[in-house]
């Protein structure tokens, strides 16, 4: 069955046979938690849930690769692009969303009263955070669409983006990751000088661990993708480097549930109640107009 397949692709295919169901399950549970727990309806949790959705779609893209691997089939690169449009969207959305989550946490610590008021303008506030991720994803998709070709490939996410589009994605990712590091580092520093609730700290810690693991995975991936062309001129070997460097990323994006369940009490409670079938007893989130009015009064008193 694997007679005409590069031997180094075989262990990669079996790795993805394991990580695909784990990644889908992990991110689906995170999304379900958002819908069943009213306390997880803030703009921050909307951004986090969208990140989990992007990660879940991303890991689904490996299904096509595994299928072609096990059936020893190939496809045109242009066909591979069309088959992987959704996974590429998940791939390109995730990092900008993490950056926006970092900016959200930084704003929450730096301007807590103003931030709390913005929570009552949920649609507007969330939409502002989504502008860059959406424009960035559309740009990468457009470049990939322009570069479609009829080369025969094993259809994986790296081969769905050919030439310039993948290089632009890789290099722009470096700038996004630096921004993420700066946002979370500044937030962590400010937390040491602010009296914040234990709930906020638990949320920040859980997302911080998630970001750390994802950044480690993407660091390996982007370095491999950037310097892979300097190592070899053989495109088959370069594609192998791309695919193997994606292992750490796929592990990272499949770990969301484990991290949040371990660190964040809110998600731990929600998951336990999902398992017990007692989600209807979850406490509601206070979102009253009187609270907003009090906050505005506090803001005015501070200004005077």
160 pLDDT higher than 70? yes
Asked if residue 73 belongs to a domain, the reply is yes
Its domain, for residue 225, covers 9-275
Asked if residue 302 belongs to a domain, the reply is no
Asked if residue 25 belongs to a domain, the reply is yes
Count of structural domains, the chain: 1
Helix (H, G, I), strand (E, B) or coil at 76: strand
Ranges 138-142, 220-224, 264-268, 295-299: which has the least confidence: 295-299
- CATH number of the CATH domain containing 63: 1.20.1070.10
Asked if residue 22 belongs to a domain, the reply is yes
Q: What is the DSSP letter of 39?
A: G
For residue 2, which of 71, 59, 49, 64 has the smallest C-alpha distance? 71
Asked if residue 123 belongs to a domain, the reply is yes
Q: Give the Å distances, CA to CA, from 41 to 48, 140, 154, 265, 296.
A: 10, 30, 40, 16, 22
Asked if residue 297 belongs to a domain, the reply is no
Convert the pLDDT of each residue in 12-36 to its tens digit: 878 888 999 999 999 999 999 999 8
Convert the pLDDT of each residue in 76-117 to its tens digit: 999 999 999 999 999 999 999 999 998 998 898 888 888 888
Q: Which two three-digit tokens encode residue 274? A: 């999902």
């Amino acid at each position: 069955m694997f007679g005409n397949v590069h031997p180094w692709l075989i262990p990669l295919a079996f790795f993805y046979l394991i990580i695909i169901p784990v990644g889908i399950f992990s991110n689906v549970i995170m999304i379900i938690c958002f819908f069943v727990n009213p306390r997880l309806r803030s703009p921050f949790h909307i951004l986090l849930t969208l990140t989990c959705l992007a990660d879940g779609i991303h890991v689904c893209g490996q299904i096509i690769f595994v299928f072609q691997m096990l059936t020893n089939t190939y496809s045109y690169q242009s066909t591979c692009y069309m088959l992987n449009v959704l996974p590429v969207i998940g791939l390109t959305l995730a990092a900008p969303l993490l950056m926006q989550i970092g900016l959200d946490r930084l704003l929450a610590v730096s301007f807590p009263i103003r931030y709390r008021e913005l929570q009552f303008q949920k649609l507007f506030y969330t939409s502002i955070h989504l502008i860059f991720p959406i424009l960035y994803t559309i740009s990468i998709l457009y470049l990939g669409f322009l570069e479609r070709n009829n080369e025969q490939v094993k259809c994986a996410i790296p081969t769905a983006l050919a030439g310039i589009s993948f290089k632009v994605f890789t290099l722009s990712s470096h700038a996004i990751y630096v921004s993420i590091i700066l946002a979370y580092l500044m937030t962590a520093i400010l937390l040491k000088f602010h009296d914040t609730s234990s709930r906020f700290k638990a949320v920040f810690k859980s997302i911080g661990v998630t970001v750390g693991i994802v950044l480690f995975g993407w660091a390996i991936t982007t370095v491999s993708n950037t310097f892979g062309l300097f190592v070899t001129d053989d495109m088959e070997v370069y594609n192998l480097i791309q695919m193997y460097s994606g292992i750490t990323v796929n592990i990272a994006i499949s770990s969301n549930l484990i991290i949040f369940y371990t660190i964040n009490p809110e998600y731990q409670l929600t998951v336990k109640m999902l398992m017990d079938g007692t989600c209807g007893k979850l406490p509601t989130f206070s979102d009253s107009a009187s609270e907003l009015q009090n906050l505005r009064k506090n803001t005015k008193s501070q200004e005077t």
